[in-house]
Amino acid sequence: MKHATIFFLYVSQYMKTRLTYRVDMAMEIMSDLLFQAVNLIFILVVFGHTNMLSGWSRDEIIFIYGFFLVPFAIFGAFFNIWDFNERYIVKGEMDRILTRPVHSLFQIILERMELESLFGMITGIAVMVYAGSRLDLTLSWYDPFVFLMMVIGGAFVYAGIFVLLASISFWSDSRTSIMPMMYNIGNYGRYPVDIYNKVIRFILTWILPFAFVGVYPSAYFLGREEWYGYAFLTPVIGFAFFGFAIFMWNIGVTKYRGAGN
């Protein structure tokens, strides 16, 4: 309860500051939209040359992309802590966080949130509706709830991986290029995993489970029954990864060395 009130206070503060920099905000939303459009065009170009990719049609792949955008937007809004190392460890801002009576990760999420990213959800849903209508998908009454679970699961997968990476900074504060690389790997989850070779498929399922952000949960809505097992694992994997990440974070905090001064 207390966390919820703190959350909404931060959100309202965030909106207040953002509204004073209106141009910045508009630019950010524009560039997000542009980025999504480019990705969509890429898919269309690929399908200009072929009709099927390992048994997946163009509209199915567009649907997967649309689904992916929704958990990715939530991740981008709250867990995008790629600059954690530099900001909080090297500059020592973590000191300040640790003198406040709220869980450190929660505070950092609140300080680093970028609510503009949530617009990506709208794009994602629009893309899904477009692809879905071309595929004649029908919805049951429980599908919205399943959708919610899948989205939360997918967002937690992403969040878990990035929180784990951020936790590494507690042990070693040397700068690494893992974060940008991870964004690229994350993109692989947008395409059906059976187009990749076995090793990559295994990695995307069990080690860096990005497949649970895109393909697997979408398979459920596309009625691909052969993938249902994986589809329903999405929330499980999400909670497991996120839980593990928080566990490692908590250990990491005790290893925090502070910025030298």
Binding footprint of other proteins on the chain (CB under 8 A): 2, 5-6, 9-10, 13, 16-17, 20, 92-96, 98-103, 254-258, 261
Tell me the helix, strand and coil percentages in the chain, rounded to 5. 75, 0, 20
Residue placing its CB nearer to other proteins in the complex, 102 or 139: 102
Task: Write down the least CB distance from residue 136 to other proteins, Å.
Answer: 49
Residue placing its CB nearer to other proteins in the complex, 23 or 45: 23
| Tokens representing residue 25 in the block | 């905000």
Within 13 Å of residue 157, how many CA atoms lie on the same side as its CB?
A: 31
The answer to whether the CB of 249 falls within 8 A of the CB of 194 is no
Residue placing its CB nearer to other proteins in the complex, 17 or 50: 17
The answer to whether the CB of 62 falls within 8 A of the CB of 213 is no
| Tokens representing residue 167 in the block | 């936790």
Residue placing its CB nearer to other proteins in the complex, 20 or 50: 20
Closest alpha carbon to 38 in 190, 209, 180: 190
Task: Write down the least CB distance from residue 103 to other proteins, Å.
Answer: 7
Interior angle at CA 28, CA 23 and CA 31, nearest 5: 125
Distance CA 194, CA 211 (A): 11
Task: Write down the least CB distance from residue 100 to other proteins, Å.
Answer: 6
Residue placing its CB nearer to other proteins in the complex, 95 or 225: 95
Taking CA atoms, 242 is separated from 29, 172, 209, 220, in Å, by 28, 21, 12, 22
Task: Write down the least CB distance from residue 204 to other proteins, Å.
Answer: 29
Taking CA atoms, 123 is separated from 32, 65, 150, in Å, by 10, 10, 17
Task: Write down the least CB distance from residue 170 to other proteins, Å.
Answer: 11
Distance CA 126, CA 117 (A): 15
Task: Write down the least CB distance from residue 2 to other proteins, Å.
Answer: 7
Task: Write down the least CB distance from residue 260 to other proteins, Å.
Answer: 9
Residue placing its CB nearer to other proteins in the complex, 83 or 225: 83
The answer to whether the CB of 213 falls within 8 A of the CB of 157 is yes
Distance CA 64, CA 46 (A): 15
The answer to whether the CB of 90 falls within 8 A of the CB of 100 is no
Residue placing its CB nearer to other proteins in the complex, 20 or 51: 20
